[in-house]
Amino acid sequence: MTESESPRRRRSRARRRRRARLRRALLTTLVVSSLLLGLAGWVGFRAWQARGHLVNAAGLAGELSAHLVGGDTARAQRTLAALQEQSGAARRATGDPGWWLGRQVPAAGANFSVVRQIAVAIDDLARQAFPALLRVDLGGLVPREGRLDLTGLRAVTDDLVAVDATVQRTRTDLAGIPGDRLAGQVRRGLEELRGEIDKLAAMTSAADRASRLLPPLLGVDGPRRYLLVSQNSAELRATGGMFGAYAVIEAEKGRIKMGAQGSSSNLGHFVTPLKIPAEQRALWGELPGIYPADVNLSPHFPTAASLYREMYRRYSDETVDGVLAVDPVMLSYLLQATGPVRVPGGVSLSAENVVRTLLSDAYQRMSPKEQDGFFAAAAATVFDTLFSRNVHPNGLLSAFDRSIREGRILFWSARPEEQRMFGDSRMAGTLPEQDTVPTVGVFLNDGSGAKLGYYLRQTADLVVGDCHADGRRELNLRVTLRSTAPASGLSESVLGLAQAGDPYTVRTLVSVYGPAGGAVLDTRLDGAETSVGNGTERRRQVATVNVEVGPGGIRTLEVSLLTGKTDSGAADLWLTPTATPWTTHVVTAPSCSQ
């Protein structure tokens, strides 16, 4: 060997070093790639697991709701245990280090984060809200044998407050998740969960309010008196029907009884009209302030109730503390829980026949004076039965919940501090001045002076359209009215004033209320331009069209609208409750930011 290596040997050694570095680099790359591929596979596997657990949890939540409403506590407990198992598994599947790393990946990471939030939300409800609901004795929310147990109600209140706090917190957390840049499946899952949580939040909030409001409303601090008003859907008004018969409800120390009964016709009319809001006067003239039958031409129930209360005070010299309005369909829901009742005069009312009996048969067989007494007696008897019988609370709560959702039971308190607690809930019948999602109202008022509303069938389709550069969005509404009235054979009581000319033609004033801050653009009847009455009420543009439908006929009203500024692709309909429920279809769209 020489003192210095030959150039050939130096080059050979350099080549060996380079090959060694390359092997180490390749090995490192292989290991890292294997780890990344393994991690991706693991995250994919966990995502598949999480999806399965979440789907199972959603199904179990629906079953749990049915068991709670049906009063099957034993099955509800078993379903809750299964739900907690599935929601806990979904939470674990989305909570390991691999999932955390997935959340850090640009773009895709947002989807991992949202799925994690969905899993946590469902698990929180399963462990914090639903167990408390099972502990609540729902019987404390309804009267038994003519009396509400105020002590039991106070025991229910604490649990309901805790449940509502959990649900509202979950709802707020989910509402704060941005929906843009999410994968379609994740976005749809988020929107569906938000919809279900919104329904749950409305129910728990209503139950929470009820537990706090019922004691004062039912006279724990002194006697209370209310007007129970029957809305006659055979002669439509915006809130449901003409205020026909009434009965006085008296409450003290939780005990409830029925008082005097009467008819709106007894109240007469007012030569000097009662004061009404200027916007309503522009739409309907002085009619709501003159005639008890017209106080609810507007869909804003607090105004109608306060007008009717004042009319009753001037007639009777008695002041009531509020107004409760119901319709025959709501009575049918109650009769499903109470069973049939017999009205003075020997008529038996059941869930199956009460709507037909009150809205059709009575007009064919009775004189107008007999009708008034019969309607008052019917509503009073059903509620008296509700207050006096031992009826299963779950059936009653289900009936009340459905009636509130459909706008068939409305309540207004003359005490502002109590009325504020109802907020913009459906039971308050408040026409909101702001929308959570763009909402279109379709409200019907009879223009025939007849009782032909029983024969009306109605559909409403609302389609979310294009986004505008100014942040607004198009909506397209289609309303169809069909008459099932016969061409002959109806009594004079049904045909009434026949203001459409032909006594068998149904004349309906259809008022379309645009979204809050939005606009009504174009209105067409059966494809042709039509005359429209315009106005505004509570930040909503209103277009009113006269629609006349002969026996067996169909008329179609199409309306183009604009929302206020919104990013939402959702929309909602608010409709006049009718004798036969509406057929509705709302077609949503992606948000404008997507």
Q: 383-420, pLDDT tens digit by residue?
A: 778 777 667 666 777 788 788 889 999 999 999 988 98
31: pLDDT strictly greater than 50: no
CA proximity to 323, closest of 428, 477, 204: 428
Which CATH number among 2.60.40, 3.40.190, 1.10.3210, 3.90.25 corresponds to the domain 434-587?
Answer: 2.60.40
Band of pLDDT at residue 92, cut at 50, 70 and 90: confident
Return d(Cα 172, Cα 44) in angstroms, integer.
29
In this prediction, residue 34 carries a pLDDT of 35
Cβ proximity of 562 and 471 under 8 Å: no
Q: 314-329, pLDDT tens digit by residue?
A: 999 999 999 999 999 9
Domain boundaries, the chain: 27-217, 224-421, 434-587
Q: Which long-range contacts (CB under 8 A, 24 or more apart) does 397-406 make?
A: 397/69, 397/138, 397/141, 397/142, 398/69, 398/333, 398/337, 399/330, 399/333, 399/334, 399/336, 399/337, 401/69, 401/203, 402/333, 403/326, 403/329, 403/330, 403/333, 404/206, 406/329, 406/577, 406/581
Q: How many CB atoms lie within 10 A of CB 122?
A: 27
Lowest mean pLDDT among 201-215, 338-352, 446-460: 201-215
Return d(Cα 105, Cα 18) in angstroms, integer.
34
In this prediction, residue 463 carries a pLDDT of 97
Q: 173-225, pLDDT tens digit by residue?
A: 877 777 666 566 666 666 776 776 776 776 677 677 777 777 788 787 889 99
155: pLDDT strictly greater than 90: no
Cα dihedral sign, 526-455-227-330:
negative
Band of pLDDT at residue 281, cut at 50, 70 and 90: very high
Q: What is the pTM of this model?
A: 0.79
For 492, the token pair is: 């004079």
Return d(Cα 574, Cα 263) in angstroms, integer.
28
Cβ proximity of 519 and 561 under 8 Å: yes
Which class is domain 224-421?
Answer: alpha beta
498: pLDDT strictly greater than 80: yes
Question: 374 vs 32, which has greater pLDDT?
Answer: 374
Band of pLDDT at residue 45, cut at 50, 70 and 90: very low
